């Protein structure tokens, strides 16, 4: 059984990183340049989720979490949380042209539309930035 194959902390981390991959506080927001036109950074903690809104995020998932937090795992976890139209990749060169050039640093990139009820979510430290356009 898969749940016995991984320690509890791995399941917790997978849930925290994938949930938080869509909501984040920009580190050092006060020192950041103005966002590209049309971007609204999510800086609230906990971060709000609004039904029908498409969220974008980038994260830096280090070792050993990077062994478990794959693009497929992120897609599956977000789908189970009420997200749709999910795109998750670990390759910045695979991002669509509409993805802001200033937001291509990191090793996990996610785009997804929230379809659940209005709520808030905690923000894990691996998430570098999240925004709506």
Helix spans in the chain (H): 2-5, 8-20, 71-80
| End-to-end alpha carbon distance in the chain | 40
Between these two residues, 2 and 127, which has the higher pLDDT value?
A: 127
Q: What share of the chain is helix, strand, coil (3-state, %, to 5)?
A: 30, 25, 45
Confidence of residue 35 (pLDDT cuts 50, 70, 90): low
User: 109 with 88: CB under 8 angstroms?
Assistant: yes
Alpha-carbon Rg for the chain, nearest whole angstrom, is 14
| Rounded CA separation 102/83 (Å) | 25
Orientation angle between helical segments 8-20 and 71-80, nearest 10 degrees? 80
Tens of pLDDT, residues 40-67? 999 998 999 999 999 999 999 999 998 8
Residues 6+ apart with CB under 8 A from 109: 57, 58, 59, 88, 89, 90, 92, 95, 99
Structure tokens at 23: 């909501």
Tens of pLDDT, residues 69-99? 899 999 999 999 999 999 999 999 999 998 9
Query: Is this model's pTM higher than 0.85 or not?
Result: no
């Amino acid at each position: 059984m898969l749940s016995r194959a991984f320690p509890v902390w791995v399941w917790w981390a997978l849930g925290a990183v994938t949930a938080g991959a869509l909501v984040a506080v920009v580190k050092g927001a006060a020192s950041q340049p103005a966002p590209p036109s049309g971007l609204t950074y999510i800086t609230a903690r906990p971060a709000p989720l609004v039904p029908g809104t498409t969220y974008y995020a980038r994260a830096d998932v280090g070792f050993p979490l990077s062994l478990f937090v794959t693009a497929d795992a992120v897609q599956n976890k977000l789908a189970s949380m009420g997200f749709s139209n999910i795109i998750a990749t670990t390759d910045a060169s695979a991002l669509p042209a509409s993805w802001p050039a200033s937001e291509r640093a990191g090793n996990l990139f996610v785009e997804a539309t929230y379809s659940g009820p209005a709520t808030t979510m905690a923000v894990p430290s691996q998430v570098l930035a999240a925004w709506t356009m």
